[in-house]
Amino acid sequence: MHEAAVRRVVIVGGGTAGWMAAALLARSLGRECGIRLIESAEIGTVGVGEATIPQILHINAFLGIDEDDMLRRIHGTYKLGVQLNHWGRLGDSYIHAFGDVGLPLGLLPFHHYWLRSRKRAGAPSLWSYSLSAAAAAQNRFARMDKAPDNPIGSLRYAYQFDAALYAAYLRERIPDGVVQRTEGKVVAVNLRGEDGFIESLQLQSGERVAGDFFIDCSGFRGLLIEGALKTGYENWQHWLPCDRALAVPSVRTTPMRPYTQATARSAGWQWRIALQHRTGNGHVYCSACISDDEAAAQLLANLEGEALDDPRPLRFVTGMRRLAWNRNCLALGLAAGFMEPLESTSIHLVQSGIARLLALFPDRHCDPALVDEYNRQTRFEYERVRDFLILHYKATERDDTPFWRQCGAMQIPPALAHRIDLFRRAGLIFRDGEELFAETGWLQVMLGQRIEPAHYHPLADELEESKLQAFLADIRTLVNRAVERLPTHDAFVARTPAQGDAPLARAKGTAPSAPMASAP
């Protein structure tokens, strides 16, 4: 370790972001670098959601987590995608399912052959060719690797869980002595005069905590990245107009659906997430179009089981920090930015933020070239996720409320407008570099919300009609055969009983999730 190496990393804030950062840094840096996490039991955490996307499996593999043990301890279930209801028109329903749709043939993506096939009356829907969508429709699930006799592939999945319990689980798995937890509140941030780097933190107890590199996981307030370094915040509310949410747990119902539900309401949307011990519910809405009382009434009227608490409020402004890494401070989670949980990206953005930090890990000088590259990659990721979310609002034919009329008429980022135009003209979808959502994700949302291509690729006409129909029928047969072998989601989750494990405390020494003040 050279003399300028980072030897002290200080994380401010616990919750999912803080403890995920601590666990991954501990696993990567071992005992070569001191890691200290400061959190206060008096400051509640928001909790960045109860649903995830498949990339979280990479974290668990890296940390050596046993999936059965984790889900048993944190009351988790499995997720095959997001069912979206009433987004295109009232009464519409489709699923953005994980994994592939169909099989490629020759040089063309599958959907061009499917688009050609739709000329026939009674042609099956796109989702008939998705293993995840078909399993979700029947509430079936199992971990399924690719079979030698079935080219359809494996069942791609993620998790639905209590985010606070997941944070506590990560904390429990960190070896003793690798991460030092300090209970306390930061009351002052001391900057170096010569370069404005953070030098130390002053705690309410009087203790001074020095560090070489600081990670801000303090939530919306951005205690370090904004409070001390005045980094600035880019507001995206003109594209993503929802600015408030209400969350409430309800009694568990059966079956436990292996997918998240996002149901559009009059001025926003409502989530429903099945956990082993309860159902998570929430209403994300635009306060300019509906009052808090009306939003709460809509939420409570559309629960499937009895509410277990009063709705918990949250206020936010969608957007991102102008710099996620500023001087010797990196922001993660809500301190870095916020995009509503419509596609369950919050935990992933923490995960990818830590991965980028490890790939570009600095010395104490924080080379500006590394900082600039980190910020460039972060902005690319956030903006592409942002555009995918905007698509859900823009691609609507609803005109029944002022909110939906506003969404349908809004001006959108040029890159998104170009994507929509390419698809509408010729059914073309191109993935932009390493952006998060692949072609199948864009395909499902655009078709699910009634963006219809005028044409498919002309090469799709080269296949004889009889061969095309046989090709499509074979895929449906393979999908149906695979799904028929799967147990129900409830049965699969129940196959690993608790075996006497005590449930995790919501977090050792931390308060339960609590309402937060407005985001910057």
pLDDT class of 113 with cuts at 50, 70, 90: very high
Neighbours of 233 (CB within 10 A): 18
0.85 exceeded by pTM: yes
Determine whether 467 is an active site residue.
no
Residue 154's pLDDT is 83
From the candidates 79, 230, 394, 508, give the one annotated as an active-site residue. 79
| CA 512 to the chain's CA centroid | 21
The mean per-residue pLDDT over the stretch 319-331 comes to: 98
In a domain, 438, yes or no: no
Please give the share of the chain, as a percent, with pLDDT higher than 90.
89
Residue 1's pLDDT is 61
Tell me which residue of 278, 262, 275, 257 sits closest to 139, measured CA to CA. 257
The mean per-residue pLDDT over the stretch 157-186 comes to: 95
CA–CA gap between residue 131 and residue 137 (Å, rounded):
10
In a domain, 432, yes or no: no
CA–CA gap between residue 338 and residue 259 (Å, rounded):
23
In a domain, 238, yes or no: no
Residue 121's pLDDT is 87
DSSP 427-463: ------TT-SS-HHHHHHHHHHTT---S---GGGGGS
Q: Output the six-digit token pair for 293.
A: 């009382």
In a domain, 303, yes or no: no
In a domain, 97, yes or no: no
* Residue 355 burial class via C-beta count within 10 angstroms: exposed 0-12, middle 13-18, buried 19 and up: middle
| CA 213 to the chain's CA centroid | 26
Residue 48's pLDDT is 45
CA–CA gap between residue 83 and residue 162 (Å, rounded):
20
Would the pLDDT of 112 be above 60?
yes
Strands 8-12 and 213-216: parallel
In a domain, 152, yes or no: no
In a domain, 324, yes or no: yes
**Which residue range(s) make up the domain with 202?**
8-77+161-232+319-383
pLDDT class of 47 with cuts at 50, 70, 90: low
Report the range of poorest mean pLDDT among 88-97, 217-226, 489-498: 489-498
In a domain, 113, yes or no: no
CA–CA gap between residue 247 and residue 184 (Å, rounded):
27
DSSP 122-188: TPPPGGGG-HHHHHHHTTB----PPPTT-TT-----EEE--HHHHHHHHHHHSPTTTEEEEE--EEE
DSSP 4-24: TB--EEEEE--HHHHHHHHHH
Q: How many domains does the chain have?
A: 1
Residue 57's pLDDT is 97
Residue 146's pLDDT is 67
Q: Which helix (H) or strand (E) is 336 found in, with range?
A: none
